[in-house]
Amino acid sequence: MERITERLISWASVLEGQTREQALRASLLPFVHPRVALMPDAHLGLGATVGSVIPTERAVIPAAVGVDIGCGMIAVRTQFTADDLAGRSLTPLRTSIEGAVPLSAGVSNRTVHASAEPRVAELETLAAETGFEPGERAGRWRLQLGTLGSGNHFIEVSLDEQDRVWAFLHSGSRGVGNKIARHHIGVARELCRKGHIRLPDRDLAYLVEDTEEFAAYLGELRWAQHYALLNRDEMMDRVLACLSEFLDVPVVEQERVNCHHNFTEQERHFGRTLWVTRKGAIEAREGQPGLIPGSMGTRSYVVSGLGNPLSLCSAPHGAGRQFSRTAARKRFTREQLREAMVGIEFRDIKAFLDEIPAAYKDIDQVMADAADLVTIRHTLRQVVNVKGD
């Protein structure tokens, strides 16, 4: 851990200069207490750094939560082993998953699946209790429950160090979470503008406790966080059904872990009640299970938190980008992507070039940097990769 200033500490051994400056700006906000903590995978974000933990008193920064509210990971360990997959082409499994889960930005289901109906009902009840209509933010939110998205979101079938089969995926609150976030980022900007509040970055605009605007954001934020969690559960159930059909044996779940990495919660730290915003960071209290995926083609990790108080009981959420998508497309080739994905069943298309592992930080270095934040319980290696373009 490096103490950059009294208000900024970092676990990132690789920290680009612009990222460092961005985090410094956020750390100087007067309501940040006691300091911002950068995770090993820190990189540039909108207003606030991706891979940062920002504790605030009586205020929340909507852009620091991010536009994919509640984004996170879910993993399930099954009873299957590598022997159950041996000698089989995994292409039918991949295409089955691609057919069961709508992929890519903006996609939706044709109808609300039967498995999604009770989850939709739960979200409708929560919205009514919250006092808002999610359809006013995104009319297709019901149809998007159980859809993946694009970018670094993925579905994988992996093997652990004992050759046990896991299903693993990464996604968030889809279009409705994005619309909720952008609305309240705009509200915060306008309030700060009207209040003549000078900000180091307009995307650090904030909402203050005991105001209507804060209460409205918090209610919709919590709803979107729950939407993201149920979205992952819905997709995972479909993936497990595909795996069951592929092997012609019902899946028996041995373990399920579902965790956010873009969220805000009120927590107690350093003797104070704080709003802890984790943007690209997971909660890692002592003994708490968590998931840290690598990039496309690399290892992922099932971890247990160490409850490090300096990190506000947090840990990284993945490898973290090293090159922008534009830079990656210019720098790397399809052949390099194919080389990185040797032995993994994946859809070989040009659109995934900006997700090549070399565009990300080395996940092994990230995990080494996180040694005092988490312990590794399982190391996963992919055998099937599914992404949206």
Active-site residue list: 317
> What whole-number distance in Å separates Cα of residue 371 and Cα of residue 219?
35
Cβ neighbours of residue 66 closer than 8 Å, sequence gap 6 or more = 45, 46, 48, 50, 181, 262, 279, 280
**∠ CA 332-334-335 to the nearest 5 degrees?**
95
- ∠ at Cα 182 (181, 186), nearest 5°? 115
**What is the rounded distance in angstroms from the CA atom of residue 243 to the CA atom of residue 233?**
15
Query: Are residues 78 and 252 in contact, defined by beta-carbon separation less than 8 angstroms?
Result: yes
Q: Which amino acid is at 293?
A: P
- Report CA dihedral (125, 129, 135, 136) to the nearest 10 degrees: 180
Burial (CB count <10 Å: 0-12, 13-18, 19+), residue 6: exposed
